[in-house]
Amino acid sequence: MTTDFKHHQAAHCENGVASNLLRHNGLNLSEPMVFGIGSGLFFVYLPFLKVNHAPAISYRPLPGSIFGKAAKRLGIKIKRQKFSGPAAAEKALQENLKNNIPSGLQVGVYNLTYFPDDYRFHFNAHNLVVYGQEGDNYLVSDPVMETVTSLTTQELERVRFAKGAFAPRGQIYYPIHIPENPDLKKAIVTAIKATCRDMTAPVPIVGVNGIRFVAKQIRKWHIKHGVKKANHYLAQVVRMQEEIGTGGGGFRFIYAAFLQEASVVLDNVVLKELSYEMTAIGDKWRDFAVEAARVYKNRSSKPDVYNMLADMLTEIADKEEVFFKKLRKAI
């Protein structure tokens, strides 16, 4: 029992799942375009919520919102379901496969057996597509993997009902209606305005203000909590940025690619120029991650490293504030 589903590797799970499901249903949108129209670029710091014994930090909005916003702006209807138990969740998936409907699933990462051990954290906002079944194995298109893979019925049940923050509760989703000619221009403009608004919001833990807030915390962590805990918190920042699907530096590169595509659709050369600026900001995020990793791995010999890292983040926040104000004017 399988469908004629084509696997395309992507940089991020939700963008990749959304793009692959839409392509399967006849709407050829790239990962960057889905990400941009879905306002995937975001930042929030939640010190009151702990993930892996460290303050929660995310470089993206809530799970499901990227595909949800992109669909709404393009006039696409998506069906989403959550379940109280595994039996009903598996029955819904089986029904879809019988009807040749590849299905997006939200799952936990920790028990994904095909992931390398270093990437198996307690993170419940990963996305993949199940497109068929052979015996006891479900056929899986995980967009962050180079090729398709599989999970046994028991393995899939375990990741669909992972416990903890953002527990997926067997969530399944798939498009049920795609308009023949979605208004791409209107969707792009609406999305860019929303992203600019979110990233410059007058809220201390959101957007560029949130980045500045984290910079201030980094200056104090080693004093308040000691070096060991401070370095664990730093590791959390980098893990969420570079290893888990909240994409800090990587999301900046995807957004730059979106702006390049958008510049063609809107015939707006300024967006292409701004895409280069966003790429440079992405490089700054990567530089920060490298320096932070050296610190928490005890490989940095630089003096006053915590203030140095805080300065790097403050510079990034300043550059992003300028960037999003220019982007808002450009459209």
Domain residue ranges of the chain, discontinuous segments joined by +: 13-37+77-177, 184-330
Looking at residue 133, its pLDDT comes to 95
Looking at residue 106, its pLDDT comes to 96
Dist CA 115 CA 31 (whole Å): 22
Task: Give the H or E element holding residue 326.
Answer: helix 305-330
| Torsion on CA atoms 275, 198, 181, 27, rounded to nearest 10 | 70
**Cβ-count burial 197-217 (b if 16+ within 10 Å, e if not):** ebbbbeeebbbbbbbbbbbeb
Beta-carbon count within 10 A of 47 CB? 14
Average pLDDT over residues 66-80: 97
CA 41 distance to own-chain centroid: 8
- pTM score, whole prediction: 0.91
Looking at the structure, give the CATH architecture of the domain made up of residues 13-37+77-177. Answer: Alpha-Beta Complex (3.90)
Each residue of 113-129: pLDDT tens digit?
Answer: 998 877 777 778 899 99
Dist CA 217 CA 141 (whole Å): 39
Dist CA 61 CA 263 (whole Å): 24
Dist CA 136 CA 166 (whole Å): 27
Dist CA 199 CA 42 (whole Å): 6
> Chain-wide mean pLDDT for the chain?
93
| Burial class of residue 289 in the structure, from the number of CB atoms within 10 Å of its CB (0-12 exposed, 13-18 middle, 19+ buried) | buried
Q: Is the pLDDT of residue 242 over 80?
A: no
DSSP 241-308: IIISTT-SHHHHHHHHHHHHHHHHHTT-HHHHHHHHHHHHHHHHHHHHHHHHHHHHTT----TTHHHH
Q: Please name which of 121, 159, 120, 123 lies closest in space to residue 138, comparing C-alpha atoms.
A: 159
Dist CA 43 CA 203 (whole Å): 11
Q: Please name which of 48, 63, 54 lies closest in space to residue 12, comparing C-alpha atoms.
A: 63
| Angle, helices 305-330/269-296, rounded to nearest 10 degrees | 170
CB 162 within 8 A of CB 107: yes
Q: Left (φ > 0), alpha (ψ -120 to 50) or beta: where does 170 sit?
A: left
Average pLDDT over residues 255-275: 98
**Token representation of residue 164:** 């903890």
Dist CA 70 CA 21 (whole Å): 13
Dist CA 149 CA 106 (whole Å): 16
Higher confidence at residue 164 or residue 138?
Answer: 138
Looking at residue 246, its pLDDT comes to 57
CB 80 within 8 A of CB 171: yes
Looking at residue 51, its pLDDT comes to 78
Q: Is the pLDDT of residue 244 over 70?
A: no
Looking at residue 63, its pLDDT comes to 82
**Cβ-count burial 16-28 (b if 16+ within 10 Å, e if not):** bbbbbbbebeebe
